[in-house]
Amino acid sequence: MTLGKVYLIGAGPGAPDLITLRAVRLLERADIVLYDRLVHPEVLDHATGAERIYVGKAKGDDMQLRQERIFALMIGHAREGKIVVRLKGGDPFVFGRGGEELLVLKDAGIPAEVVPGVSSCISAPEAALIPVTYRGITPSFGVFAGQQGTRAKRAQVDWEAAARIGTAVFLMGVERLTLIVERLVAHGRSPQTPVALVERGTLPEQKVVTGTLADIVDKAKGVRSPATIVVGEVVNVRESLLATAEAGAGDSLIAAS
């Protein structure tokens, strides 16, 4: 039997129309779709002829077992000649083990391809009118994992780099906001540095909380995952944009027309 193929696809940050045309065309052809927790249900509607299998996190899951099940599903179905779509939130290569999955597939001799997606690390700030770079403020931004991997394998954040770079974006960081703030200040970032948290960016229920390193922990108490944390002077651009927007028009500056 001829081998099928696995497509590792980015579903975008949240809003179901922020997915690429290539992704939609592949979903339409898919036999199997393996999707994660942060994928919007409407995205799955493109996969009219596919069996849809949820492989996202559930409470109390063993991460290793979960990952092995995903590998087994991808490889098993591809060996049966099927077109398998592995659908991930945002971009497949920004956290979430996309690179690892592609490598395992290649090792197993399964044809596989990656399809980029709109990553929340840029688009969640953007949906809150925060540009990660801005002329005259900073030409650099870095993306950091607030929390990643099993305890044993947890990669350390390079706090020095995070404290120094113009814009520091943290994903998976809401539960560790206190620690993030502490470490940044301990590594020399001014407590007056502006900070924003963008919860469920690009979705209708999007929520934005702004403050400084000095007061954000208090202000952001109600913020829940998924949220993106942005640290840097670029956060002030949001205030300027909101101030110049017509009263009430606010975030609709980038709303879908």
Query: Which residues of this protein are in contact with ligand SAH, per CB under 6 A?
Result: 13-14, 38, 88-91, 94-96, 119-121, 124, 171-172, 198, 200-203, 225-228
Given 5, 36, 88, 91, the catalytic residue: 36
| Catalytic residue check, 172 | yes
Output 4 or 208, the one with its CB closest to ligand SAH.
208
CB-closest chain residue to ligand SAH: 90
Beta bridge partners of 54: 35
Instruction: State the DSSP code for 209.
Output: E
Output 202 or 210, the one with its CB closest to ligand SAH.
202
| Catalytic residue check, 36 | yes
| Catalytic residue check, 57 | yes
CA dihedral over 250, 214, 124, 42, signed as positive or negative = negative
Q: Report, in Å, the least distance between residue 95 CB and ligand SAH.
A: 4
Q: How far is the C-alpha of 87 from the C-alpha of 8, rounded, in Å?
A: 6
Output 10 or 194, the one with its CB closest to ligand SAH.
10
Q: Report, in Å, the least distance between residue 190 CB and ligand SAH.
A: 24
SS3 of 46-110: CCCCCEEEECCCCCCCCHHHHHHHHHHHHHHHHHCCCEEEEEECECCCCCCCHHHHHHHHHHCCC
- Rounded (5°) CA angle 194-200-206: 75
Q: Report, in Å, the least distance between residue 181 CB and ligand SAH.
A: 16
User: What are the residue numbers of the active site?
Assistant: 36, 57, 172
